[in-house]
Amino acid sequence: MPTRMVVNNSSAQYHRLTKSSDDGFIDLQFVRPPPKVPWKAISLAVVLFVVGSILLTIGALLLSGTLIDQKYADRTWPVLILGLLMFIPGSYHVRLAFYAYQGYQGYSYSDIPDFGD
């Protein structure tokens, strides 16, 4: 069985560290800067929302038969699908931008993608 060797270095002097008020941090380090408004993303969301709404309205009129003759009914579903594909993300991001602008709790401009600007 190996024996442990205990080194007793009595020449070391220990003392309690003093508590200093200067810890190297300042309060401004922990304040978040206001987020940059992603204007390009918001404008794209508004364009998607408006064009999607127009396409959905045209698609509904095509589906009801009030806009064109029934022999052109094959144009109805692509217009509706394209309108939905544009309306859904556009309305979502416009809602996020509106709530961030109004200052609702939990909504920020940082939730909107900014295209790497």
List the chain domain ranges.
34-107
pLDDT digits (tens, 9 = 90+) for 37-80: 899 999 999 999 999 999 999 998 888 878 777 777 788 889 99
Nearest to 45 by CA among 6, 98, 106: 98
What pLDDT shows up at residue 7? 56
pLDDT at 82 over 70: yes
SS3 of 10-44: CCCCCCCCCCCCCCCCCHHHHCCCCCCCCHHHHHH
**How far is residue 89's CA from residue 53's CA, in Å, rounded to a whole number?**
12
- Across the chain, mean pLDDT equals 83
H-helix segments, the chain: 39-64, 76-102
pTM passes above 0.85: no
**How far is residue 90's CA from residue 74's CA, in Å, rounded to a whole number?**
26
pLDDT band per the 50, 70, 90 thresholds, residue 6? low
What pLDDT shows up at residue 52? 97
Q: Do you know the residue count of the chain? A: 117
